[in-house]
Amino acid sequence: MFDSIKNLGAMAGIMKDLPRIKQKMGEVRMRAEQTRVAASAGGGAVTAVASGKMRIENITIDPVVFTAMAERDDPANRVLAIELVREACNLALESAQQRMAEMLADAAKDLNLPISPEQLREFM
């Protein structure tokens, strides 16, 4: 019973702070749009850059990959190149997700809110 009353009080506090929360989430959203993270696969043969909006912004493939494919027209080389691109993209997206989680955790801490970053993400 007392937990329910305590939760209602916390909810009332959150509702009172809603304008401040929305402002902070706007700031986080703007930082997320500007955030770029890079990840590489194959010892740097392929590098992908992801944004905070979970979009792949750029992929760089070392010319050595193309040279190896041209020298030996082997389907295994094409599969390897595709796997390197896929891995670099997935790593970049994972890094972007981690960075966004850190931003949301920082925002929750700054706002002194008793909610998780996942719950705070709903405000974005």
Place of tokens 């930082």: 31
Task: Categorize the per-residue pLDDT at 7 as very low, low, confident or very high, splitting at 50, 70 and 90.
Answer: low
Q: Residue 107's CB: how many other CB atoms inside 10 A? A: 21
Q: What is the pLDDT of residue 19?
A: 82
Residue 1, pLDDT above cutoff 60: no
User: How sure is the predictor about 122, in pLDDT bands with cuts at 50, 70 and 90?
Assistant: low
Reported as type and span, the H/E element at residue 118 is helix 117-121
Provide mean pLDDT across the span 29-50.
95
Average pLDDT over residues 11-36: 80
Question: Between these two residues, 107 and 39, which has the higher pLDDT value?
Answer: 39
Q: What percent of the chain has pLDDT over 90?
A: 39
pLDDT for 72-108, tens place per residue?
777 888 888 899 999 999 999 999 999 988 888 888 8
Token pair listed for 102: 């850190």
How many CB atoms lie under 10 A from the CB of residue 41?
19
d(CA 104, CA 117): 5
What fold, for 2-121?
Answer: Ybab; Chain: A; (3.30.1310)
What is the residue extent of each domain of the chain?
Answer: 2-121
DSSP string, 76-97: HHHHHHHHHHHHHHHHHHHHHH
